[in-house]
Chain A
């Protein structure tokens, strides 16, 4: 996916890094590779993203407490294994269902703080959320709430389309 390189460029902009990193893609699944200036080449979306965050001196985006850091890592792993490469309708629906119940009691993926996990999940899920019908968006109410929240974060959306969420509940409460 050249999309990975594109996403990393978006991330760079969000973090305020000057552009200049060159990305290439590896293998049939197009895993992004970053050639660092005087070090080894880095492979993998989560790895490169974390590296960029540290480059930008925004380490808090990786979590502050040990538990939070672990949760961030968990969601980065989730992003790469469960979301990328999976476009099967059923899989997406299951994923959204899990995410919906997870987000029931949290404002951000880690609970109370905005982290890289939210950023990468936002970019990863955008193409799925964009295609949801309003009824589905209402079904996954917590995901919609979280998504609507994240897309308003300054600097994150950039050129991606803004997904519309209706403010009034159209369909009767199922919960």
Chain B
């Protein structure tokens, strides 16, 4: 918000562009908003910024009624087009940030008829409630692990038991089978479903190979996203 420094030509240019299609800074009647900006402008704008000049002369005609105009005077940074940075310093960073967020859904001017504002708030509230009702979809993957023993005399049942003993939040063991590899050695193929955020394959690998007595190595044979 804000027009930049209104004492510079750039600031006045912003004011001019802002006022091209508006009669007042805020709303459709003169208010303290106009007085605030009027006082920040050091004098009548140059003639080539004719919108600003028109506004300036108009507000000047209200000089005597300055105090009785409606509204509350806010810091200068609060007026004007939303996309301009508030560099008057006194605006407060959080305020302009809020305006940016809301402006994604609506117009980027401060003035809005009460009805349009209310409608927008209503729709926003509806969107939020709908969003919160939707169950959070968790990313899951199905892994097929190959666990290889040292030799053909390794007790596969014990090996499987060890692997299944690994518990973690988001890890569910599935079915398993023994697949012969050669020379009488069988490897254990076991399925599991993991939640991507909670369990990683390196963690699994670490824990499985920790059973060094039984497990020679472990591979991820297949990794499918669910």
A contacts, CB < 8 Å to B: 104-107, 111-112, 141, 144-146, 148-149, 152-153, 165, 167-169
Contact = CB atoms under 8 A, between A and B. Distances in A.
For the complex of A and B, 6 pairs with smallest distance between CB atoms: A152-B28, A112-B61, A149-B23, A105-B54, A107-B58, A145-B21
Interface string B63-104: 000000000000000000000000000000000000000000
A105 B50 contact: yes
Given A149-B28, A153-B28, A167 B54 contact: no
Given A105-B53, A112-B61, A167-B107, A141 B20 contact: yes
20 contacts: A105-B57, A107-B23, A107-B54, A107-B55, A107-B58, A111-B58, A112-B57, A112-B61, A112-B62, A145-B22, A149-B22, A149-B23, A149-B28, A153-B28, A165-B21, A167-B108, A167-B109, A168-B107, A168-B108, A169-B17
A86 B55 CA distance: 32
Query: What is the interface of chain B mostly: helix, strand, loop, or mixed?
Result: loop
Nearest to A162: B113
Most chain A CB neighbours (cut-off 10 Å) among B23, B50, B109: B23
B63 to A, nearest CB: 11
Contacts of A149: 22-23, 28
Contact of B58 (A104, A112, A169): A112
Interface string B16-46: 0100111100001000000000000000000
A119 B50 CA distance: 24
Nearest to B60: A112
Contacts of A111: 58, 61
Which interface class (under 10, 10 to 19, 20 to 34, 35 or more) fits B? 10 to 19
Given A145-B20, A149-B28, A153-B28, A106 B109 contact: no
A7 B165 CA distance: 87
Contacts of B113: 152
Contacts of B107: 167-168
Given A112-B62, A148-B21, A167-B108, 8 more contacts: A104-B54, A111-B58, A141-B20, A145-B21, A145-B23, A149-B23, A167-B21, A169-B17
A167 B111 CA distance: 10
B50 A104 contact: yes
Nearest to B30: A107
Nearest to A137: B21
B24 to A, nearest CB: 8
A152 B112 CA distance: 11
Contacts of A168: 107-108
Contacts of A112: 57-58, 61-62
Nearest to B106: A167
Interface string B103-145: 0000111000100000000000000000000000000000000
A104 B48 CA distance: 11
Contacts of B17: 169
Contacts of B53: 105
B89 to A, nearest CB: 27
Most chain B CB neighbours (cut-off 10 Å) among A107, A149, A169: A107
Nearest to A144: B21
Contacts of A104: 50-51, 54
Nearest to B57: A105
B185 to A, nearest CB: 72
A63 to B, nearest CB: 14
